[in-house]
Amino acid sequence: MEKRLILRGILAGAAGGLLAFLFARIFAEPLIGRAMDYESGRDAAQAALDKAAGLAPEAADPDLFSRTVQADVGIGVGMVFFGMAMGALFAVVYAICLGRVGGLGARNLAMLVALGGFLGFYLVPFVKYPANPPSIGHPDTIRDRGNLYLVMVACSILLLVLAVWLGKRLKERLGKWNATLLAALGYAVVIGVVMAVLPSLGELSANVREFGHHATETPLPLTDSHGRIVYPGFPADTLFSFRFYSVAAQLVLWGVLGLVFAPMAERLLARRAATGGDGAAVRARVEPAAGA
């Protein structure tokens, strides 16, 4: 049965990735275009400053793929495959939780696991290291940024699992409501400490050497040798909108994943219970779904 659940998770994840791509293509892609236009304009202004100072301009790296390929094929394929990977992992977690998380029905459990995935994999790490459009980020910090983000994701998921375990341990002593609140509070406190300990991207050594101490890598206004602004900083509206739609796209992915997976899993469990495939254990898992 686990293999069938994973297959359904992959299908649901593909659907979620496809819809998330369509959402991002409509709302986020124009913002990426604006960010790239900003980057081109800033590079031209920097080249003019370098020329005035007698410095040789740096050669621009050629684009391996056109914007059309990147915006349609590249991002689309990437998001669909990401959704499939998350769907497989989602199904594994669902199978582990099945029958072990109170009296939740099949559909309610699917949505709860989807919510946990959205929080643990994306939203909580996003609070510390939010998504950025092109032109934001020092080339020398790519590896450091990637490693820090992975550390943040790993800590978020691990602490979320520990919070669920703590809530279950405290349920009999404090009741479900108090145990849930205490576990959530513990998670918030510990993940807050982790966020405080991990460095801000603007404090990475490559950024401090070139730009000084800042909280982020968002480009500041470009100035000449007299301190006059020759090119503005990155537009705040574009940055906010890009991050907003990034969160919304992930919400679409995880929401569709849970909504599509839930009825498929419920039907599978109902068939297994009807045929007596897993005996009393399957019936115990399906019966709450009837009242969900």
Please report the pLDDT score of residue 98 as a whole number: 84
Which residue, among 214, 243, 218, has the nearest Cα to 232 in the 3D structure?
218
Two tokens, residue 189: 């406190």
Please report the pLDDT score of residue 287 as a whole number: 44
Q: Which helix (H) or strand (E) holds 270?
A: helix 236-274
Question: What is the rounded CA–CA span in Å between residue 124 and residue 183?
Answer: 16
Question: What is the rounded CA–CA span in Å between residue 71 and residue 17?
Answer: 15
Question: What is the rounded CA–CA span in Å between residue 18 and residue 80?
Answer: 5
Please report the pLDDT score of residue 68 as a whole number: 62
**Each residue of 258-289: pLDDT tens digit?**
999 999 999 988 888 777 655 434 444 444 44
Two tokens, residue 193: 């400490």
Please report the pLDDT score of residue 97 as a whole number: 86
How many other C-beta atoms are found inside a 10 Å radius of the C-beta of residue 205?
11
Q: Give the domain ranges of the chain.
A: 2-135+236-290, 137-217
Identity of the amino acid at 265: A
Please report the pLDDT score of residue 138 as a whole number: 86
Please report the pLDDT score of residue 126 as a whole number: 97
Give the rounded distance of the alpha carbon of 230 from its chain centre: 35
Q: Point out which residues pair with 231 in neighbouring strands.
A: 222
Please report the pLDDT score of residue 194 as a whole number: 97
Please report the pLDDT score of residue 189 as a whole number: 97
Which residue, among 29, 38, 32, has the nearest Cα to 233 in the 3D structure?
38
Helix axis angle, 75-97 to 106-117, nearest 10° = 130
Instruction: Give the predicted TM-score (pTM) of the model.
Output: 0.86
Identity of the amino acid at 47: A
Please report the pLDDT score of residue 290 as a whole number: 43
- Report, as ranges of residue numbers, the positions in the chain whose pLDDT lies below 50: 279-292
Separation in Å, CA 215 to CA 72, 128, 150, 212, 284:
33, 11, 19, 10, 51
Separation in Å, CA 136 to CA 128, 132, 218, 238, 244:
16, 6, 5, 12, 16
Question: What is the rounded CA–CA span in Å between residue 60 and residue 109?
Answer: 51
Please report the pLDDT score of residue 284 as a whole number: 40
